[in-house]
């Protein structure tokens, strides 16, 4: 099976599944946004939980699972549906073995969590129930690790970024520091994957803490995905949750002499294609007078040839909304023009009135967009139809 990245149409929110090219087709899910309407069969909202489940592997007990689940940051549009659709708590308490496949909760073999991102998020707003549930589960797993009993499927956790005041200093074996690379997924080194942890970055002072907290501090990873064992760097997938302008400026300051660190074939446009990831100015107030922050643009501008920028958002209109913001889309299109790349939006794929999961396949030649299933079905039907005359 080839490696792939699937972006689900979840409105302004993120839910992205990475499948690797290894024999297990290792599954890494970044964020989840399964809204109540998407679970309602009488509502027209796309059944993204169904779309996700049909793409997930089943374990020996027939339970659907992800090898790893990363929560980029604990906002509602990145963790909605977690309690409803995922099993949290010890795997020995898994309750759904007698239920039909479609009703079984999804097992998270390993959690990827950033306590520093949580700390910054909770400074400015109250966490929703799904975010609190994630945090409880992450803490449970850390405690298991500290007790020496955390090394099993459904119990593992990887901590992304060191926390403040030495709180993560004793977590050596499960801690990835900002700037480090890792290739371990669910306890095993994976030759088809490597990720570079670009953020959260530790702060220099209190002003820094305040600034980064207000800029939707998120975990930023640049993943290197192999198309085969011989081609480890077939695709770079840069994903950074809702990180805004000050964070991308910090990232650029740290890596501007080695910009390849930020090179991508697929970029998830931060914060659902928000203008605030590229600028300090307000798009709705200043319109075309709003200025781009050059360092943030440089951090997000390292597109490799044929790259895709994907806005995980509702359809982008030519108005003063933000996010998604038409001016941000134009900026990404300009970045892509010199790389012969393509801008895509989950809410518009293939049609804004009937969005479907957007799938990027990783081949030896790089990343390529797969045709939407409805258009594939339509072309098969057209080919099969008897010709007139
Ligand atoms: Zn968001």
Q: Which of 296, 240, 242 is nearest to 266 (CA)?
A: 240
Instruction: Work out the angle between the directed axes of helices 115-124 and 129-146 (0-180°, nearest 10).
Output: 150
d(CA 341, CA 50) in angstroms, rounded, equals 30
Tokens of 310: 């994907």
d(CA 67, CA 107) in angstroms, rounded, equals 8
pLDDT given at position 305: 97
How many angstroms is it from 84 CA to the middle of ligand 1? 19
How many angstroms is it from 102 CA to the middle of ligand 1? 27
The answer, yes or no, to whether the previous bond of 350 is cis (omega within 30 of 0) is yes
d(CA 4, CA 7) in angstroms, rounded, equals 10
How many angstroms is it from 348 CA to the middle of ligand 1? 18
How many angstroms is it from 145 CA to the middle of ligand 1? 30
How many angstroms is it from 272 CA to the middle of ligand 1? 6
How many angstroms is it from 313 CA to the middle of ligand 1? 9
Read off the DSSP letter of residue 96: -
What are the chain's domains?
Answer: 3-384 (3.60.15.10)
How many angstroms is it from 148 CA to the middle of ligand 1? 35
Q: Which of 118, 101, 120 is nearest to 53 (CA)?
A: 101
How many angstroms is it from 219 CA to the middle of ligand 1? 12
List the chain pLDDT tens, one digit each, 389 residues: 899 999 999 999 999 999 999 999 999 999 999 999 999 999 999 999 999 999 999 999 999 999 999 999 999 999 999 999 999 999 999 999 999 999 999 999 999 999 999 888 888 788 999 999 999 999 999 999 999 998 899 999 999 999 988 899 899 899 999 999 999 999 999 999 999 999 998 876 666 777 777 778 899 999 999 999 999 999 999 999 999 999 999 999 999 999 999 999 999 999 999 999 999 999 999 999 999 999 999 999 999 999 999 999 999 999 999 999 999 999 999 999 999 999 999 999 999 999 999 999 999 999 999 998 887 666 666 666 655 43
pLDDT given at position 380: 61
How many angstroms is it from 75 CA to the middle of ligand 1? 6
């Amino acid at each position: 099976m080839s490696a792939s990245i699937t972006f689900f149409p979840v409105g302004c929110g993120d839910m992205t599944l990475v499948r690797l090219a290894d024999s297990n087709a290792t599954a890494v899910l970044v964020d989840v946004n399964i809204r109540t309407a998407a679970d309602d069969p009488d509502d027209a909202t796309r059944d993204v939980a169904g779309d996700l489940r049909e793409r997930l592997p089943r374990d020996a007990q027939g339970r659907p699972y992800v090898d790893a689940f990363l929560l980029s940051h604990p906002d509602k549009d990145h963790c909605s549906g977690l309690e409803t659709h995922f099993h949290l708590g010890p795997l020995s308490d898994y309750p759904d073995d007698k239920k039909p496949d479609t009703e079984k909760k999804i097992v998270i073999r390993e959690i990827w969590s950033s306590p520093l991102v949580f700390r910054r998020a909770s400074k400015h707003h109250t966490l929703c129930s799904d975010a609190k549930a994630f945090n409880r589960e992450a803490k449970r797993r850390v405690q298991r690790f500290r007790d020496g009993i955390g090394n099993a499927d459904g119990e593992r956790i990887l901590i992304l970024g060191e926390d403040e005041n030495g709180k993560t200093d004793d977590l050596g074996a499960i801690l990835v520091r900002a700037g480090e690379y890792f290739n371990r997924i669910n306890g095993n080194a994976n030759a088809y994957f490597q990720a570079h942890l670009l953020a959260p970055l530790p702060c220099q002072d209190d002003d820094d803490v305040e600034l980064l907290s207000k800029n939707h501090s998120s975990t930023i990873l640049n993943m290197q995905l192999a198309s085969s064992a011989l081609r480890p760097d077939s695709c770079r997938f840069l994903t950074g949750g809702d990180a805004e302008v000050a964070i991308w400026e910090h990232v650029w300051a740290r890596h501007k002499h080695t910009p390849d660190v930020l090179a991508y074939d697929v970029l998830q446009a931060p914060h659902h294609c928000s203008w605030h990831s590229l600028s300090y100015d307000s798009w709705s107030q200043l319109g075309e007078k709003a200025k781009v922050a050059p360092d943030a643009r440089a951090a997000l501008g390292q597109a490799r040839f044929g790259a895709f920028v994907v806005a995980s958002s509702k359809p982008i209109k030519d108005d003063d909304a933000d996010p998604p913001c038409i001016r941000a889309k134009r900026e990404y299109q300009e970045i892509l023009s010199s790389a012969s790349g393509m801008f895509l939006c989950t809410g518009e794929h293939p049609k804004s009135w009937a969005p479907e999961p957007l799938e990027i396949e990783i081949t030896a030649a790089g990343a390529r967009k797969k045709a939407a299933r409805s258009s594939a079905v339509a072309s098969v039907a057209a080919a099969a139809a008897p010709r007139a005359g």
